[in-house]
């Protein structure tokens, strides 16, 4: 554990604010909560000395480390600036568990995606079959009730970054992330169209993963390799002042915050300062967009995903939506419980559903025509659980501009 | 986008200010570092002191201490703020008050008595139970929740002559968690960590009660016969606390009330959540989780504040700002041995009666030595060294206490009387000095920032812990700050 983290650890005064906002702790009686798994366990680790010996007392806590969904709400709630989520992540090191096949699959969405998209027309109906779902659950421990739907290969976004021979200077690079790459290329296309309308020609990266799923699966070593690889890919562009824009809040959070926390290198910091959430990037075009959008008469539930809140860009996204006249926005900001790969793990399904159900109730009470959320995995969960059409903000903006 | 009112801090003062600003039709945003310190709050709005009627005492206080935050408002303005607060909280977190905003008397978790001005519905029946010495009240403790002792409360009440109070205990295993199946609960939840003698957090219990208060009521039904009221630790539900409390009352046929416990304190969390929800519904924006690290100030006007977010800082622009970041506990003031500073605008921090705090501590040199020794833990002699030092320190402390003249003034080592304690922790009076418009001023009284209004715990010159005035100052100065900010906005 590094020195800076040690210092921040001392800021925890055990006020339990993090316990109060943790969605997992609120729905799982076995879960000790972020205070115990973060700062408390980190203290025990410190007491164990440099060798990382963990006293027996921590044994019970350790088994709960994997139940953290990584939503980062504890960190946002902390009044004293303790990086609770980071501490929990780092504490996972003491957990020496062999990864299951399922964990490995979820950790590498590119592999899964490439396979899935190759046989999408065949695969998608099969995955919708309840018998198949049960088999997968029994064999792999994968919860498939909310089916994965892959895009077919012909619909995928075309990477253009590698082919680009011109100057890197000042280019806008779009980082679609795995969800857009393999499941919803239409979101990426909508974003590119929108940029096109605004006169911005963006380059699209190859199908690379930000590395967050590896970290979530507990494979820190490989995650760091992926981080380093991505930093090298973008190094040249970052140095020449390019901007890297994503439409996925988890990807941008990882690139902006997790890389820096995990690696702590200057290169990571440089990359972080060049990464933009779509909303941050589009902010500069607000007046332009305001002139372009047509009114939409719709009652919408606008969901703020955890990872959008964790980077403080929720406001920017909301203000973009407010540009659309006639769009009635009702903001909801609870966790949907899916948390990327979390909701796919059978043992976490109960708590994941329980977290999501209160949000779905709130959305239902709004009676929306449409749900808007920038996060792919939230989007899948919400449309599955509520049955309401769910779109990404850039899709909505693009539609409003096209009409 | 430029907001009409930017509020820094999401505590009671900040959110009351936001409610008022929204009501005045201002585009408002609340920017906060984390959740507020309302999780340590009892949920009651204490106005001032222990008298039945606090207003004469308040008048005296203000005349004696013109720098007190209450001196910035007339009594009518304070009552207006309280009425506004009650009105806006009516639906989600209802409050009761007495005619003329006099004090209620309610029992504490120790069975003692305390005064407060506004009572949340959950604690309301407590005042009528405590009003009659002959009342029969059952205090229910929860097995597996060690932060509250029914026996302790009942013992305290007995000492004060309330002989009709009894203690009882209910096992938490009757509560069902969302996601848990019925059968598992009926089998006494053997798989649950919580039932192996480990304790549960108040927030967790509250969440459970929301889902299965009926099981809980079933368990209680036989016990409450012959009692006028039933008291619980304040864990009866979080977001749906009204459903739980009213449901229990209906089911059991007796009045139900809660007694606030240590943090995390549900009544405070509920109030914070209700205020947040009310604001969200009224169209207030939020930016939560990031410290405001600096501000853009030109010619004593603040144009924007800058929050530290991942990747790059986020700038929030506004016409008027309300500084409600709290005191030392809330993080608005950073205190260290050398002194204290205000964290956002770097405003000067005044500390009336700071002598004890600011003076160099004769112990500090010894403590520095000790720290050096501790750092050198590899040394084989370190343990011996530390032991000697600790013994020497203890010896010094003992000499001082027994009256041996040291280099400390005698006034600094008093017996632990209330006045002595007040002197010892005079840092709680530290804060920003303001003028009648709540604008920050320097020592000479000249205005430092013309569009930044200060509210709540950041204000200098009062001690909420001794006075019992924390929430009252927060609500009234928050309300006033919004009025002032709104007025300034209208003049432009």
Residue ranges covered by each domain of chain A: 3-94, 294-402
* Residue among B179, B263, B280 whose CB faces A15 most closely: B263
**DSSP letters for B158-171:** HHTT-TTEEEEEEE
Helix axis angle for A314-321 and A393-402, nearest 10°, is 20
Average pLDDT rounded to a whole number, residues B394-412: 45
Closest to B30 measured CA to CA, from B482, B488, B484, B483: B482
The answer to whether the CB of B485 falls within 8 A of the CB of B67 is: no
Mean of all residue pLDDT scores within chain A = 87
Q: Residue B154 in contact with residue B166, Cβ under 8 Å?
A: yes
Map tokens 């000499």 to a residue: B399
Which residues from A are below 8 Å from B285, CB to CB?
315, 318
For residue B83, the SS3 value is: helix
Of B207, B263, B310, the CB nearest to A272: B310
Q: B363: pLDDT confidence band, cut at 50, 70 and 90?
A: very low
Q: How close, in Å, is residue A123 to chain B by CA atoms? A: 31
pLDDT at B385: 47
Strand locations in B17-147 (E): 28-32, 95-96, 104-107, 113-116, 119-120, 137-143
DSSP bridge pairs for B114: B106
CA distance A313 to chain B (A): 8
The CA-atom distances, in angstroms, between B235 and each of A21, A288, A357, B362, B470 are: 16, 51, 22, 45, 23
Tokens 């899935």, located at residue: A116
Q: Closest Cα partner for A54 from A63, A64, A44?
A: A44
Q: Tell me how close the Cα of B29 comes to any Cα of chain A, in angstroms.
A: 10
**Distance from C-alpha of A38 to C-alpha of A85, rounded to nearest angstrom:** 7
DSSP state of B45: B
Bridge-based pairing of strands A327-332 and A275-277 is: unpaired
Tell me if the domain spanning A3-94 has CATH number 2.30.40.10.
Answer: no
User: Chain B closest CA to A82's CA: distance in Å?
Assistant: 10
Q: Give yes or no for residue B256 having a pLDDT over 60.
A: yes
Cβ <8 Å between B203 and A25: yes
Task: Flag if A17 and B39 touch (Cβ within 8 Å).
Answer: yes
- Give, in order, the Cα–Cα distances in Å from B372 to each of A3, A47, A48, B369: 18, 19, 21, 5
Distance, in Å, from the CA atom of B269 to the CA atom of B274, rounded to the nearest integer, reads 8
Residue A357 CA to residue A351 CA, distance in Å, equals 10
Query: Which comes out higher in pLDDT, residue A209 or B205?
Result: A209
Smallest Cα–Cα separation from B32: which of B399, B288, B408?
Answer: B288
Q: What is the pLDDT of residue B19?
A: 97
- Residue A215 is classified by DSSP as H
Judged by CB atoms closer than 8 Å, whether chains meet at A76 and B34 is answered as: yes
Tell which wins on pLDDT, A323 or B369: A323
Q: What is the dihedral of CA A210, A216, A221, A227, to 10 degrees?
A: 20
* Least Cα separation, residue A100 to chain B (angstroms): 24
B109-259 is classed CATH 2.70.98.10: no
Does position B28 have pLDDT exceeding 50, yes or no?
Answer: yes
Kindly state whether A19 is in contact with chain B, defined as any CB-CB distance less than 8 angstroms.
yes
Give A 20-59 residues with CB within 8 A of chain B.
20-21, 25-30, 32-33
Query: Which residues of chain B does A257 touch, with a Cβ-Cβ cutoff of 8 Å?
Result: 310-311
- B-proximal residues of A, 266-285, CB under 8 Å: 272-273, 275-276, 280
How far is B491 from A135, CA to CA, in rounded Å?
70
For residue B281, the distance in angstroms to the closest alpha carbon of chain A comes to 8
3-state secondary structure of A298: strand
- Integer Cα distance of A388 and A367 in angstroms: 9
Flag if A354 and B179 touch (Cβ within 8 Å). Answer: yes
CA A286 → CA A193, A325, B1, distances in Å? 16, 13, 10
> Which whole number is the average pLDDT over B402-413?
39
Residue B475's nearest CA partner among B6, B121, B83, B101 is: B83
Instruction: Write out chain A residues lying below 8 Å of B278, CB-based.
Output: none
Under 8 Å between Cβ of A170 and A238: no
- Bridge partners (DSSP) of residue A330 are A301
Distance, in Å, from the CA atom of B294 to the CA atom of B297, rounded to the nearest integer, reads: 9
Tokens of B56: 């004469």
Residues near B387 by beta carbon (within 8 Å), at least 6 away in sequence: none
Kindly report the average pLDDT of chain B as a whole number.
82
Mutate to test the interface with A, among B36, B92, B178 (most CBs of A within 10 A): B178
Pairs across A and B, CB distance < 8 A: 121
Q: Which residue has the higher pLDDT, A325 or B35?
A: A325
Contact call for B35 and A79, based on CB within 8 A: yes
pLDDT(B399) > 50: yes
Write down the pLDDT at residue B361.
Answer: 39
Interface contact flag, A273 B35, Cβ < 8 Å: no
Question: Which stretch of A207-211, B118-122, B201-205 has the lowest confidence by average pLDDT?
Answer: B201-205
The residue-averaged pLDDT of B240-253 equals 93
Residue B140: per-residue pLDDT: 95
The answer to whether A281 and A243 are in contact (CB under 8 A) is yes
Nearest to B39 among A15, A76, A331 (CB): A15
- The C-alpha atoms of residue B379 and residue B111 are separated, in whole angstroms, by 52
CB atoms within 10 A of CB A232: 11
- The pLDDT confidence band at residue B366, using thresholds 50, 70 and 90, is very low
B184 close to B215: Cβ distance less than 8 angstroms: no
Note whether ipTM > 0.90 here: no
| Distance (Å, whole) CA A366 – CA A311 | 26
Put simply, the answer to whether A29 touches B312 (Cβ < 8 Å) is no
Model confidence at B175, pLDDT cuts 50, 70, 90, reads: confident
Q: Inform me whether the pLDDT recorded for B393 exceeds 70.
A: no
| pLDDT at residue B397 greater than cutoff 80 | no
| Cross-chain residue pair A26–B207, CB shorter than 8 Å | yes
How far A354 CA sits from the closest chain B CA (Å)? Answer: 6
Cα(B105)–Cα(B52) distance, integer angstroms: 8
* Closest in A28, A75, A319 to B289, CB measured: A75
* A321 and chain B in contact, CB less than 8 A: no
Partner-chain residue, chosen from B29, B193, B310, that has the shortest CB–CB distance to A257 = B310
Q: What is the pLDDT of residues A334-372, one digit of tens each?
A: 999 988 888 888 888 888 998 999 899 999 999 999 999
**By C-alpha distance, which of B7, B109, B152, B72 is closest to B435?**
B72
Judged by a CB distance cut-off of 8 A, whether residue A319 touches chain B is yes
> What pLDDT was estimated at residue B478?
97
Cβ atoms of residues B174 and B168 within 8 Å: no
Task: Provide the chain A residues 337-356 that lie in CB contact (below 8 A) with chain B.
Answer: 350-351, 353-354
CA dist., res. A382 & res. A375, Å (int): 10
Measured distance CA(A220)–CA(B134) in Å, rounded: 65
Cα–Cα dist B171/B43, whole Å: 26
The reply to whether CATH 3.40.50 applies to domain A294-402 is yes
Location of structure tokens 């520095």: B368
- Cβ neighbours of residue A31 closer than 8 Å, sequence gap 6 or more: A22, A24, A25, A64, A67, A351
Collect the ranges in chain A with pLDDT lower than 50. 1
Q: Give which of A204, A249, A203, A193 is closest to A373, Cα–Cα.
A: A249
Q: Which tokens hold the place of A267?
A: 């290169």
- What pTM value is reported for the model? 0.85
| The predicted structure's pLDDT at residue B187 | 36
Nearest chain B alpha carbon to A64: B193
pLDDT reported for residue B394: 53
Residues of B in contact with A280 (CB under 8 A): 311-312
**Dihedral sign from CA coordinates of B335, B339, B343, B348:** positive
Chain B residues near any Cβ of chain A (below 8 Å): 1, 29, 33-37, 39-40, 177-180, 189, 192-194, 200-201, 203-204, 207-208, 263-264, 269, 280, 285-291, 307, 309-312, 314, 330-331
Q: Are strands B137-143 and B229-233 parallel, antiparallel or unpaired?
A: parallel
Which class would CATH give B2-48+271-350+430-491? alpha beta
A312 in Cβ contact with B287 (< 8 Å) = yes
DSSP state of B257: E
């Amino acid at each position: 554990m590094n020195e800076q983290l040690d210092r921040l650890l001392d800021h925890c005064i055990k006020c339990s604010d993090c316990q109060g906002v943790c969605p997992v702790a609120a729905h799982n009686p076995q879960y000790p909560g972020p205070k115990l798994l973060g700062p408390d366990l980190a203290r025990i680790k410190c007491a164990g000395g440099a060798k990382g010996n963990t006293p027996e007392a921590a044994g019970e806590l350790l088994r709960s480390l994997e139940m953290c969904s990584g939503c980062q709400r504890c960190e946002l709630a902390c009044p004293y600036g303790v990086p609770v989520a980071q501490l929990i992540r780092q504490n996972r090191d003491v957990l020496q568990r062999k990864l299951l096949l399922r964990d490995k699959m979820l950790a590498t969405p590119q592999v899964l995606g490439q396979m899935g998209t190759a046989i999408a027309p065949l695969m998608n109906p099969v995955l919708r079959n309840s018998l198949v779902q049960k088999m997968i659950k029994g064999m792999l421990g994968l919860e498939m009730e909310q089916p994965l739907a892959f895009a077919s290969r012909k619909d995928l976004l075309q990477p253009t970054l590698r082919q680009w021979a011109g100057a890197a200077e000042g280019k806008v690079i779009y980082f679609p992330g795995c969800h857009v790459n393999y499941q919803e290329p239409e979101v990426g296309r909508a974003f590119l169209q929108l940029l096109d309308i605004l006169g911005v020609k963006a380059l699209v990266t190859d199908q690379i993963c930000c590395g967050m799923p590896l970290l979530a699966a507990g494979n820190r070593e490989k995650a760091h390799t992926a981080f380093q690889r991505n930093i090298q890919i973008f190094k040249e562009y970052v140095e020449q002042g390019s901007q890297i824009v994503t439409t996925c809040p988890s990807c941008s959070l990882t690139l902006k915050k997790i890389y820096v926390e995990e690696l702590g290198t200057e290169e990571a910091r440089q990359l972080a300062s060049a990464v933009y959430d779509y909303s941050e990037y589009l902010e500069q075009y607000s007046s332009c967009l305001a002139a372009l959008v047509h009114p939409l008469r719709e009652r919408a539930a606008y969901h703020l995903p955890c990872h959008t809140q964790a980077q403080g860009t929720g406001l920017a996204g909301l203000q973009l939506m407010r540009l659309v006249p006639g769009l009635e926005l009702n903001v909801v900001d609870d966790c949907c419980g899916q948390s990327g790969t979390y909701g796919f793990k059978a043992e976490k399904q109960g708590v994941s559903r329980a977290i999501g159900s209160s949000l779905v109730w709130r959305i239902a009470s709004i009676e929306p025509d449409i749900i808007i959320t920038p996060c792919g995995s939230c989007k899948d969960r919400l449309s599955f659980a509520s049955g309401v059409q769910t779109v990404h903000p850039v899709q909505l903006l693009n539609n409003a501009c096209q009409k | 986008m430029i907001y009409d009112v930017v509020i820094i801090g999401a505590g009671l003062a900040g959110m009351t200010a936001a409610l008022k600003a929204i009501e005045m039709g201002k585009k408002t945003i609340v920017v906060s570092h984390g959740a507020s310190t309302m999780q340590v709050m009892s949920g009651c709005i204490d106005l001032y002191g222990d008298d039945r009627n606090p207003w004469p005492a308040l008048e005296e206080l203000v005349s004696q201490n013109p720098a007190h935050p209450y001196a910035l408002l007339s009594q009518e303005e304070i009552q207006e703020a309280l009425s506004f607060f009650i009105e806006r909280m009516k639906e989600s977190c209802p409050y009761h008050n007495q005619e003329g905003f006099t004090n209620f008397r309610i029992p504490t978790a120790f069975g003692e008595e305390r005064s407060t001005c506004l009572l949340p519905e959950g604690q309301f029946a407590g005042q009528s139970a405590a009003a009659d010495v002959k009342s029969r009240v059952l205090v229910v403790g929860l097995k597996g929740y060690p932060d509250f002792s029914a026996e302790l409360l009942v013992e305290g009440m007995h000492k004060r002559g309330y002989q009709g109070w009894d203690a009882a205990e209910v096992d938490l295993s009757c509560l069902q968690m969302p996601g848990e199946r019925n059968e598992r609960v009926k089998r006494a939840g053997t798989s649950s960590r919580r039932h192996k003698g480990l304790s549960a957090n108040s927030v967790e219990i509250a969440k459970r009660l929301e889902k299965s208060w009926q099981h809980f009521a079933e368990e209680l039904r036989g016990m409450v016969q012959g009692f006028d009221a039933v008291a619980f630790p304040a864990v009866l539900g979080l977001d749906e606390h009204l459903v739980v409390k009213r449901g229990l009352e209906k089911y059991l046929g007796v009045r139900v009330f809660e007694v606030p416990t240590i943090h995390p304190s549900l009544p405070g969390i509920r109030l914070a959540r209700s205020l947040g929800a009310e604001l969200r519904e009224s169209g207030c924006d939020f930016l939560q989780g990031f410290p405001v690290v600096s501000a853009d100030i030109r010619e004593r006007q603040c144009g924007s504040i800058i929050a530290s977010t991942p990747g790059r800082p986020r700038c929030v622009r506004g016409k008027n700002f309300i500084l409600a970041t709290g005191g030392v506990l809330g993080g608005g003031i950073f205190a260290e041995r050398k002194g204290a500073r205000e964290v956002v605008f770097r405003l000067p921090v005044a500390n009336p009666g700071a002598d004890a705090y600011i003076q160099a501590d004769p112990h500090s040199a010894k403590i520095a030595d000790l720290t050096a020794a501790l750092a050198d833990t590899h040394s084989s002699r370190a343990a011996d060294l530390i032991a000697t030092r600790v013994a020497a320190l203890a010896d010094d402390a003992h000499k001082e206490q027994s009256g041996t003249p040291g280099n400390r003034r005698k006034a600094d080592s008093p017996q632990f009387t209330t006045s002595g304690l007040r002197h010892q922790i005079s840092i709680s009076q530290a804060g920003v000095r303001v003028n009648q418009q709540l604008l920050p001023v320097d020592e000479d009284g000249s205005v430092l920032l013309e569009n930044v209004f200060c509210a709540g715990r950041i204000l200098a010159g009062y001690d909420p812990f001794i006075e019992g005035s924390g929430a009252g100052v927060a609500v009234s100065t928050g309300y006033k700050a919004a009025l002032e900010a709104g007025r300034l906005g209208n003049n432009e």
